[in-house]
Each structure stands twice: as structure tokens, then as C-alpha cells.
Amino acid sequence: MSKWIEKNNEIMRRDELGQLSLSKDKEAIKLYLEHIKSKTKQFSNQIARLRYLVEEDYYIDVFKDYSEETLLELLDYAYSFGFEFQSFMAASKFYDTYALKTRDKSQWLEDFEQHNVIVSLYLAGGDVDLAKRYIKAHTLQTVQTATPTYLNAGRKHRGELASCYLFTMDDTLNSINFIRSQVSQASKIAGGVAVNLTRLRGRGATLKGVKNVGKGIVPVAKLIEGEVSYADQLGQRAGAGAAYLNIFHSDVIELLNTKKVNADEDTRLATLSIGLIVPSLFFDLAKEDKDLYMFEPYSIQEEFGKDVILDDININDWYDKFVENENVIKHKINAREMLNLIAQIQLQSGYPYIMYKDNANKNHALNELGEIKMSNLCTEIFQYMHVSNIKDYNEQDELGQDIICNLASLNMVKSIEEKAIEESIRTGMRALTFVANNSRIEHLPTVHKANKNNRAVGLGVMSFHSMCAKNKIRYGSEESLDLLNVYCMMMDYYSLDESMKIAVERNDKFYGFDQTDYKAKDGKEFGEYFCKNNRVTKNVEPITPKVKEIFKGIYIPTKEDWQRLAREVDKNGLYNSYRLSIAPTQSISYITNCSSALTPVVDVVEKRKYGNSETYYPMPYLSPETMWFYSPTAFDIPQEHIINVAAVAQKWIDQGVSTILFVNSEIETNKLARLYAYAHDRGLKSLYYTRNKLISIAECTSCAV
């Protein structure tokens, strides 16, 4: 065991008062960084280092856009902040995952500041002032780009910078093969991939007039799993994917069974995640203790016409017709039994994810352009999409529109304490927009089309529990919800304002803007989006004394500001069709000394594997005083608190909030099922996986911002 690991382990030694030896982690950092320094390639000066990295094809040619004098100035600026890692976990995560090494992995080629500079130089595209803004944001850690961007930006040989890719598969072999190819290409460039299988005919369906021969969706899901496993990013990051299916599809129970502990090896999905698309009708059936009928999609089309597609219809309008028609192939199960089955399988595997389809579309500002039909690998991306019609080789394909999104997260603690909420939001929007405009995805034609039309981005937030604990606020309390409500309102306001400013600068707005709820219609003064949530009619401001103190000296937009913004957006448009999504920050939260996203911490001191050893990660700002505000931790806190927190944020977030439930193994399935219904009733768009205290679930690295 190395000496820095030994020193880190001394954290758990308690003094005569029973307190943890937290200072030992600082000593571990010092020892570790001394080791890093001894293994770092040395250069005579910074310019010599940059020349070497450019000439050896490690970095892009930064000398094309920046002079030597400017490069030195920016490097000095990065070091001027006096950055220090706040935990051994932060330092080791940065150097193990993000810092550039020689190709033989024997030496490091950059430190934290140098890495931030190359990322910022790339994202700024030659704009020195913008580069300084990015350097400041990354070094002060007020806003942090996602892993794909933070890992790859500025490198000569790299993966793509976006995080998420979503595809819809049609019910033809041409489409199946086309989407499989797209999945491989997206996985290869470091994307987390999700595929909607709802349009595929079920097992036992008719095929070319022959009845009962359809193989169903599980074999296709196995193919997707193979593509994702095969195509990774040069072994640096494993591929990761998810298959989504509507709960009214006849194969839904078969898909759920692929995650059972005793699943047959021929059908088990060992690495592919699964998610359910759940319209509100399902919960209505469960509340009324009725049967859930699940329908085979092709038999629906045989009876009602090719335009009646399970993935497209409003199930409320068709459900009774399908039930009553004896020619529609269907299976049934009591709806409450289905809820319990979902809960049972979640307790075994953590899956399925749950996507609340009607909630997602209820406040969707782009409903006139298309419907939200699925979510992504981490359940925070919600955008419209159109299926492609992939024809034979001698015919022209009719390309639809799939989904791409790139991510970043605000650090709530740092952005508030630096009085830089507005600056951080605007900086994050600029960085994400650059990634959208410079993504190399022509080989993904349906994604490329979406990116060109939408320029969708996903700015989120992390460090919520850390912010609460540092300020002695209980997670889930009225004060915590007050804090989050004001902060997310500001995210909504400033992201809109910045996207509008970019539209003005570029004299360009996203495709279809005039059809959206951002545009005033029917003689109304404001677009419908601005009339919801009392944006233009009521001031949103802190209501509890402690939160008032936290925001002291920080300007909070008023209803008059919202009115001004609504008029300017109506006049000028927006550059980005989607702006906000709260992803499950994992790796990045360690580096930035944050609790993850909006999630409560799992342990006050987290134990992690590090090679063959164990290390300890004390929660940010942990002290004898703040320890009590990190408790109860995630597995002991009422799970309704987690849902309530997500619901407050969701009011202001135009996409979604990745929300994890934490349960103990002894929880009854009907209690877990009630949480699904509660989340639906609170307006959540999704639930990510359920963590069982006795089951270890691999973290999602593709969307980990």
C-alpha cells in the first residue's frame, strides 16, 4: 500500500473526543502530489511544453489562434487562483481520469491548471476574453463541463465532446440495422446511447403474413448491448447504453425479466440498462385497481391502419378500443401487480428507469414541433424526435431527427459564495453552445440534423446537499426547498437571456422557434412559457431567513425582469431549443469537491476502491458542526424528500432532473411502488435507477458530468 493511501486511511482514526482525523486527508494529498510531480515530464518552460505537445499530436495547434505571449498570460492567469485539491479523492480522480499522459502511460503531461487552460483554449475558439472566463470557471470550479468535454477538449486525437445520444428504431430490418450502426458510432465517440424500441412488433407477431413468428424486442436489445460493448473509446471509457419500451407494449414483461437475478443467459441483459416509457393512464389503472392490457403493435396496425402506431398515439384515446378488439394481440396483468413487479426487479437490479411520458410533454415548450417519447441513459434529457424511414439501397432515405445533448453543471456552493450565479450560468451556456456548434457528427446523420436544428444543451447543478450542510440546513426542509427554488429560477432566467443574446449576435434562432411556447401568439403579450410558474406575474425571492442571508448581495431577477425578457425573446428568438437538465454528477463532483447533483450523500465518509486498496472520501466541508446536517444520509432519509427536491427544481428545468431512489433491502415492494406514483403526482419526468443498500450498481460514466 502506498504511503498516501495509508495516510488517507488514517482519516478513520478517531481522537479522544471521537472525532475523525480529517486533517490526514490533506497530508495524503501532499504525498500523492509529490508522487505525481516525480512522474511528470519536465520542460524548460511552458512554451516548450506546448510546442512539444502540439508537435507530438497530443494537443491541437493552439499557436494558430493564440500568440505565445497570450498563452503565457493565460497560463499565469490559471495559476493566479492558487487552486488546491480539497481531498485525496479529488486529486486522484483528476490524475487517474482526466490528466493527459504519455502514450505509454509512464508520465503525466499536464497538471490541473494546464488541463483547464487547454480545455478553455479549445472552447474559446481563439477568443482570449472568453478563454479567461472558462479558465476562471474551471479553476474556481463555479461551473464544470461534463466528462466527455472535460476529457477530450483540446486533444488532437479524441472522442466527441457531447454526452448523450438518443435514437428511435422503426419496425423494419432496414431501420434496425441503421440504428445499430448509429449506436456503434455514437458509443465509439464516448456517448451514452439510448434506443426506443416501442415501434418494434412484439414476440409472436405476424411477419410477411405468417402468424406467430415475430421474435420480439429482446433479441434486438441484445444486439444493441453487443454494439455498445464492442464500440468503446479506445478502452478509455466503456460503452454504455439503454433500451426504452412503452409499458403498453406486449413485450414489456419480457424486457423486465432480462434483469431478474435468475434470468436465462440467452436473454439476460448483463450490461444494457432498461427503461420504461409510462403514460399517466397506467397510474390511473393502478389507482383504480384495474387490469393493465399490453398490446402487440403490429396487430394494432393491422386492425386500425398503419398510422395508428403505439409510439405515437395518445393511449387514452385508443386504450378501450384496443382492449375491446379481439384481433389486437394483448396480454394483461393487474396494474398494481405490474407496479410490484417493477419494484421487485428494481430491488434485484436497480432497473428499470421510469420515464413519465405525459409529465414530460405537459410543459414541453416545443410540443408543436414534436413529442417527447423517451429519455437517455441517465434520464435527464427530454427532447422531441422524429423517426427515420430507412429504405432500400436504391431509394432515398427519409431521415428523421434523433437527439444529441452536451452537458455541464454549476457548482451551487462556489457560484453563490463567489456571487457569480449569473456569470456562471452565462459562461456555462457559452461553453455548451460552442460544443453544439463544433460537434463532429456528420457520420450520425439523424443526430447531425437535430444538432443543426436545435443546438440543444443541458446545463445542470450539483453540490446541493453540500450547500445545505455547509449552511446548516436539513436536506428536504422548507429552507432547502426555498434555496433550490430561487437558484433554479435564476438558472432558467439567465440561461434564457444568454441564449437570446447568442441568437442576436449570430442573427440566428433555432429551427421552428415561432411555433413554440416561447413565442407570443393569439394577440397575447407574452409567450405561454413565460406565463407558467408565475414568471411574469409574481416575484420569486427567498422566504426563509437563512436563505435570505445566503442570497444577500446577489441580484435576483424580478417579475419586471421576466417581462422584459419575455418581450426580447419574442422579438429575437433563442439560439438553443433546450437549455437545462440536471444530470447525475459523479466523477466531476469528486474533483469539484461537491455532493452529486441534487442527491443526498450516501455516507458522511465514503469508502471507495482504489486499485487493490480502499480509500476514504470525507464529504465536502465536513466538520463536527456540518456532520449532523449530512444526516440522515440517502438510505435513511424519507425518499419523499428526494422527490420533493427534484419536483421543486423540475418547475424551472426545461428538460429533466435525474433522480435516484435509495432503499434498504427490506422495503416492501408496494411501498416502493407508491414512491413511483408519488413522483408521478409531483410532476417528475423520470426516475433514474433505484439503489439498494445491499446491491452495487455500476455508475453511469457516459453521462457523469
**Which class for 266: exposed (0-12), middle (13-18), buried (19 or more C-beta within 10 A)?**
exposed
Which candidate in 116, 359, 376, 451 is catalytic? 376
Whether a cis peptide bond, with omega within 30° of 0, leads into 352 is yes
278 within 8 A of 356, measured Cβ to Cβ: yes
User: Can you read off the three cell numbers belonging to residue 476?
Assistant: 428536504
DSSP collapsed to 3 states, 146-190: CHHHHHHCCECCCCCCCCEEEEECCCCHHHHHHHHHHHHHHHHCC
Q: What is the DSSP string of 41-64?
A: PP-SSHHHHHHHHHHTTSB--GGG
In contact, 48 and 63? CB cutoff 8 Å:
no
Amino acid, res. 54: V
**Three-state SS annotation for 265-289:** CCCCCCCCEEEEEECHHHHHHHHCC
- Catalytic residue, from 380, 451, 498, 593: name it: 380
CB 137 within 8 A of CB 167: no
Does the annotation mark 380 as catalytic? yes
- Sequence-ordered list of residues with C-beta below 8 angstroms from that of 66, at least 6 positions apart, any chain: 74, 121, 126, 128, 131
495 phi, psi to nearest 5 deg: -70, -40
Residue 209 makes CB contacts below 8 A (sequence gap 6+) with: none
* Residue 268 Cα to chain centre, angstroms: 26
Instruction: Check whether the bond before 632 is cis (ω within 30° of 0).
Output: yes
Of 164, 378, 405, 468, the active-site residue reads 378
Exposure b/e, 13-44, CB count within 10 A at least 16 = b: eeeeeeebbeebbebbbebbbeebeeebeeee
In one letter, which amino acid is 480? Answer: S
| Known catalytic residue at 531 | no
Separation CA 467–CA 600 (nearest Å): 11
What CA–CA distance (Å, rounded) separates 201 from 223? 16
Q: Are 686 and 355 in contact (CB under 8 A)?
A: yes
Look up residue 212 and give its three cell numbers.
Answer: 406467430
- The Cα–Cα gap between 470 and 620 comes to 8
For 167, 180, 352, 375, 475, the CA distances from 395, given in Å and listed in that order, are 22, 20, 38, 31, 58
Give the Å distances, CA to CA, from 650 to 623, 645, 657: 31, 9, 6
Report H helices in 350-444: 357-362, 412-417, 421-437
Q: At what angle do helices 68-79 and 128-140 cross, to 10 degrees?
A: 20
Task: Specify the pairing of strand 273-278 against strand 291-295.
Answer: unpaired
Closest CA to 457 of 479, 486, 484, 425: 425
- Distance, in Å, from the CA atom of 430 to the CA atom of 433, rounded to the nearest integer, reads 5
Half-sphere exposure of 189 (CA within 13 A, CB side): 21
What does the alpha-carbon distance between residue 13 and residue 45 come to, in Å, rounded to a whole number? 43
Told to judge if 405 belongs to the known catalytic residues of this protein, a careful annotator would answer: no
In sequence order, the β-bridge partners of residue 194 are 166, 242
CA atoms in the 13 A half-sphere facing the CB of 173: 6
Give burial (CB, 10 Å; 0-12/13-18/19+) of 77: middle
Total residue count of the chain as it appears in this document = 705
User: Active-site residue numbers?
Assistant: 376, 378, 380
